Chain A
Amino acid sequence: VTDHVKWLIVIGVSVVALAATALVGLVAWQQYQARQSTASAAAIISADDWAVGARIVFRNTAPGEGYGRVASVPLDDPAGARAVTEVACDRVDATTDEFSCLRTERSIVPTYSATLYANDGVALQTWPLPGIPSRTRLSDDGTRIATTSFVTGHSYAAIGFSTETVINADDGESFGNLENWAFVVEGAESAPADRNFWGVTFIDDAAFYATAGLATTGGTYLVKGDIASLTLSTVAEDVECPSLSPDGSRIAFKSKTGGTGPITHWTPAVMDLGTGEIVPLPESRNVDDQIEWLDDDTILYGMPRAGQEGDYDVWMLSADGTAQPEIFMEHAWSPSVVRP
């Protein structure tokens, strides 16, 4: 084969490969544009009074206009028309007057941030995040904001560090990364090198529950955090991503029921804080979300919508394990129940 022929082969393959890529990109771009300009797959109403009354605040994932933005529906009509705001978030949690928003700032190289918004859309505080948003929770009085992000801005930086969970106050003060807090394991102060914390759920503005994970063994603890003393103490084992019930008596969480590493299978479960009794819930699918309580009897969680990348549904399940899961809201993610 002569040099001439060799170059022809290289150029030919390059042209075909790059042209095919351009074609795929063009089609994807057109499809994206078409989706953006089509009406939302969910009914939308004016957002003027989006934050009044008992409501669900969530991330709208209905394809079409308003995709990815914070929205609300009345608590008694979750399938009803949505009031969609202008604020886009990956994760959201809301109280009566404000909401916490974690987002990926799209640009030629993305950055990540957490913002506390007043309901009128005014940003009250903003913090940079070191990586992709994972979880956020507000205390009921709105003065404490917890954020969890993955410290993997780039996969090569991933080794040894995976999550960063920070507690901030609404006045801008920070209580810092939970990894720097005192960690008490079964009564004894400890500092395992591979500890990681994620999934905060507030008890009040002074205390919270969260997950402590040990990367090496894959084991997890339910920990109770005390903000005044910056101390985390273990409460129970194998409880991940806790969510405290409105009456404060139970923890809903992800229970590891199979697999390991990236193919772990999690099933929702509920633990009674008084007795330690655990009720596994009848959900056969893998649930990788921080659960939200609709009321003292029902939990909510997001699931990817089958066959529709980037779209999710919120499912509901009876907290005593007596009923099968059913869809609570279509095209929604990161639900937050607000009762003024």
Chain B
Amino acid sequence: MKPRDPRSFLPLTPRVFHVLLALAEAPLHGYGVILEVQRQTDGVIVLRTGTLYVLLRRLLDQKLITESEERAAPEDDDERRRYYALTDLGHQVVRAESRRLEQVLQTARRSRVLGRPR
């Protein structure tokens, strides 16, 4: 089956984008995702357990993420935990979204929303 075009997922909602971004570096468990998203967004987006797992289920179903065998450093590993990692499709989608956002940013610069372009 032909893989789905990554661009068909765009634009992503901020939550989905940040969850994918959080998993881009390394596989994480659920609580790790919550902490990472909180760090990335300076606490603007606080994911709660209920929301997160419904979201993760959707991403799993869309094959953007997968459950991972790869583990974090042994000292903070809890082996009962489930870890999530990006699939290739997930990587492509997060890259596509980042590019899109970059263009958005450029447009914003050009229209001087952010002050003079340097």
Same complex origin of A and B: no
